[in-house]
Amino acid sequence: MKHASEASPPNPFDLRALWEANGGAAAFGGDAMRTWLDSATRMQAEATAFWTGRASKDMAALTMIGRCTNPAEAMEAQMRYAREAVADFYAEGQRMMRMASEVTKVTLPGMPGAGKSE
């Protein structure tokens, strides 16, 4: 028979005990999760806007190439399209990396390099 002064063995299914979580850690984790989900939503909206704009530019380039009357015009239009597409993809990649970096700095303040401006 157990006495009231004896401690109960820890519950092996209690994840809070497993990870030694406390109320403060749980609150931080919830805030971090919401911040990451909000950031993912913003990044998805940004990516959708980028691809919508990119599709319009692609169609315009195809139309321009289709109107060319000689191979030199077609080559110039293709090169212009390629330069602009690469520049657009590079700029979009930079935006995405900046967004990911910002959310990381907010949610992981103790990480090395967090809070430093680039």
Q: In this structure, is residue 36 part of a structural domain?
A: yes
- Give the chain's radius of gyration (CA, Å): 27
- Token representation of residue 81: 């399209």
DSSP count for the chain of H helices, then E strands: 3, 0
In degrees, rounded to 5, the angle at the alpha carbon of residue 86 between the alpha carbons of residues 81 and 90 is 150
- Token representation of residue 5: 């002064």
* pLDDT at residue 102 greater than cutoff 80: yes
Q: In this structure, is residue 66 part of a structural domain?
A: yes
Q: In this structure, is residue 7 part of a structural domain?
A: no
Distance between CA atoms of residues 58 and 78, nearest Å: 11
Distance between CA atoms of residues 64 and 80, nearest Å: 11
Q: In this structure, is residue 51 part of a structural domain?
A: yes
* Domain count within the chain: 1
Q: In this structure, is residue 60 part of a structural domain?
A: yes
Per-residue pLDDT tens over the stretch 5-32: 566 666 666 655 655 555 555 555 677 7
Q: In this structure, is residue 59 part of a structural domain?
A: yes
Q: In this structure, is residue 42 part of a structural domain?
A: yes
Provide mean pLDDT across the span 65-85: 96
Instruction: Work out the percent of the chain whose per-residue pLDDT is above 70.
Output: 66
Question: Which pLDDT belongs to residue 118?
Answer: 46
Question: Which pLDDT belongs to residue 117?
Answer: 47
Q: In this structure, is residue 12 part of a structural domain?
A: no
Q: 89: domain range?
A: 20-107
